[in-house]
A and B are shown apart, each in its own frame.
Chain A
Amino acid sequence: MVYYIFTLVFFCFDYFILAMGLNIEYGETGILNFAYIGFVAIGAYFTGVFSLHSAANSGQHYILGLGLPFPINLLLGGIATMAFALIVALITLRRLRTDYLAIVLISLSLVLYDFCNNFVSIFNGADGLYNVPEPYAKAFGLTVNSFIPFFACVTALISLLMWFVMSRVTRAPMGRTFRAIRDDQVVAAALGKNVFRMQLKSMLIGSFYAGIGGGLLIQFGGSFNPTAWLPGETFVIFAVLIVGGAGNNIGMFVGALLVETLLIHLPAFLPEIPGHPGLIEYFDNAVVGIVLMLMLWFRPQGVVPAGIRRAATFGVVERDHDSSLPTSTEMPLLSSGVGNE
């Protein structure tokens, strides 16, 4: 039971990272990235192959196999994801409007899945990677059981570090430019902002987070199975984002906590309906969709709404009537920071 709770802790923090990455792309910059899980998969794959040893006598097919120690392979996995995102962004971001971009990205997500499943000599086909070494398990003499709490704590630390960095990024001038682009690309461009460059930056940062989150997933589970990267999985991260409140980093944690515990892991305890294997799981996935629609309709700003980042007051103090909004004192802004248009 204790191990189960630590597994839950791990998933909460990991989805916190993933949701922060999606948040900077969608919540802050307005890039509707429906291929997000594809980037997570790339991160997972590269983290895996950087930590695995040479593929020669493992019975699997993969490239590299460098056998690098833990934090280095994770970082390289994140960087590999960024490189992949750079290619994708250069092709798609330059001239596509939102819905075309969404079409291309969702197609990309499906093709990546199909490609991983079929291309045996690099991705090992539908078997995926397995026996990925557990970081520090040998050095600290960790058993299978003690590894879970250990790695959950490592993930928590990493996610807090990444949250700190992300909160700096979103508060910096760059973050304000992102929000300006989200609210109106034309206005942002008229004010001299290079929309393409900023979107590219946002996508690169988001992909790095996706890569790290994916890398932690493969290090935790020790295997990489293409079926875990179906496009529908992107939707779980979108659910975390919408439930938590788009455009708000703290909300991402609340969202990850709520969605992961209540919707993804709790239903596993429900008794299986006899004669219908997997029925609970199907219901569960459908419920994620229903919850998301209800959230969007009744509370589009999420459980923890993004605070209105007000302009500098220049001596005129405005009272914040809604005490639930975090008060922030920030520099002048091109746009308000509310998530719902």
Chain B
Amino acid sequence: MQLFWLSVGFGCVTASVLAIAAVGLSLQFGITNYVNFAYGDFMALGGFFAYVLNNQVFHLDIWIALVIGSLAMGVFAVIVNRLILGPFARRFSSSHYVLIVTFGLSLIMLNASYSIWGAQVRFFNMPIAPALHLGPLLFTRNQLIVIAIAVGLMLAVHTMLKATRLGKSMRAMSDNTTLAMTSGIDTKRITTITWFLSGTLAGVAGTVLGISEGNLTPASGELFLFVIFAAVILGGVGSIYGAIAGALLIGLATEISAAFINPAYKLDIAFVALILTLLIRPSGLIARPGTT
């Protein structure tokens, strides 16, 4: 039983990381209507930005490094959209080309990170805190901060989408881009802001992934990417709330199953969930209406 509660604790942390990443991916997918296969590498690069600030240049505290690194990642995402993905998406009406380009971008970013930082495993420089008991659950201080960051970000995204003009425009654009454009929404500006948010969330997710797993390599994001996909598809593609729900379910499912079967297969559990979703309810838990 103790093992079960331990794994629930881990599940909460994984779900937090997953939720941040899944919301970032979903935001961008909803607006631009193509999947970014380089998202895992965005995460890893964001983690490395924080690593550089934390370990190599200014020796900042890890949480400050996280904020600055993630904002830098947001700017990076905007630049990538302006220079590469945006032009391709405008030029070719078929989404095949953009998908292949994001796949290529992933390869370029992965190998660029490898050439800069090498393949060895990196660690963040952060204080080791004693474990805290929360009812039957057991957390370290860093894990609690990760969960707090995730909850805070989810609330922030929710408030932004529901209460601000920007969020309203984003929801309008994700429902119907042409209609949004004719209603006077500056779609180009919204796209840029979305990429910034998506990149920032990827940076946060990559860094907290590094914190919760305890290590960071350029390939960290690659395998994690498809766990995000599983969460996003389980929740319903393009739906922010679906992504959060999917992240919770997948995060808990992978970690709790790892307590009972060989932990090496916890990724396969996510994949099984993905396949079952596709077979039983391909639109996901929370289906987004009006998309074909």
By a beta-carbon cutoff of 8 Å, the part of chain A in contact with chain B is 26, 30, 32, 34, 91-92, 95-100, 102-104, 106-108, 110-111, 114-115, 118, 231-232, 235, 238, 242, 276, 278-279, 282-283, 285-286, 288-290, 292-293, 296-297, 300, 340-341
Contacts and interface: CB of A to CB of B under 8 A. Distances in A.
Contacts of A102: 35, 37, 99
Interface string B94-134: 11110111011111101110110011000000000000000
Nearest to B113: A282
Nearest to B29: A99
A30 to B, nearest CB: 7
A289 B38 CA distance: 12
Contacts of B264: 118
B99 A99 contact: yes
Contact of B103 (A96, A235, A340): A235
B268 interface: yes
Nearest to B223: A110
Majority secondary structure, B binding face: helix
B233 A103 contact: yes
Contacts of A32: 96, 99-100
B237 A114 contact: no
A129 B233 CA distance: 35
B34 A104 contact: no
Interface of B: 34-35, 37, 84, 87-88, 91-97, 99-101, 103-108, 110-112, 114-115, 118-119, 222-223, 225-226, 229-230, 233, 237, 262, 264-265, 267-268, 271, 274-275, 278-279, 282, 292
Interface-central residue, B108, B111, B274, by most chain A CB under 10 Å = B111
Contact of A238 (B100, B111, B230, B265): B100
14 contacts: A32-B99, A34-B37, A96-B278, A107-B230, A110-B225, A111-B268, A238-B100, A238-B103, A276-B118, A282-B112, A285-B107, A296-B101, A340-B92, A341-B94
Contact of B274 (A26, A99, A104, A114): A104
B226 A110 contact: yes
Task: With a 10 A CB-CB cut-off, give which of A231, A279, A341 has the most chain B CB atoms.
Answer: A231
B226 A341 contact: no
Contacts of B108: 286, 289-290
Given A114-B268, A286-B107, A300-B97, 5 more contacts: A26-B96, A106-B229, A115-B268, A118-B265, A290-B108
Contact of A91 (B97, B100, B279): B279
A114 B101 contact: no
A187 B233 CA distance: 28
A311 B267 CA distance: 50
A289 B108 CA distance: 6
Nearest to A239: B104
Given A235-B107, A278-B119, A283-B115, A99 B278 contact: no
B88 A106 contact: no
A151 to B, nearest CB: 30
Contact of A242 (B100, B225, B230): B100
Contacts of B112: 282, 286
A4 B230 CA distance: 43
A104 B104 contact: no
A288 B265 CA distance: 32
A285 B115 CA distance: 11
Contact of A283 (B97, B111, B225, B229): B111
A125 to B, nearest CB: 10
B110 A232 contact: yes
A288 B107 contact: yes
A246 to B, nearest CB: 9
Given A111-B226, A115-B268, A232-B107, A293 B278 contact: no
A100 B105 CA distance: 19
A91 B275 CA distance: 8
A110 B34 CA distance: 20
Among A103, A242, A278, A300, the one with the most B-chain Cβ atoms within 10 Å of its Cβ is: A103
A95 B37 CA distance: 21
Contacts of B118: 276
A65 B99 CA distance: 40
B229 A91 contact: no
A106 B278 CA distance: 15
Contact of B229 (A103, A114, A242, A276): A103
A107 B226 contact: yes
A334 B118 CA distance: 51
Given A283-B111, A283-B115, A235 B104 contact: yes
Contact of A293 (B35, B37, B101, B262): B101
A293 B279 CA distance: 34
A34 B97 contact: no
B247 to A, nearest CB: 16
Contacts of B94: 341
Given A107-B230, A118-B264, A289-B108, A91 B278 contact: yes
A38 B148 CA distance: 39
A32 B103 CA distance: 12
Contacts of A110: 222-223, 225-226, 267
A114 B267 contact: yes
Contacts of A99: 34-35, 95, 99
Nearest to A296: B97
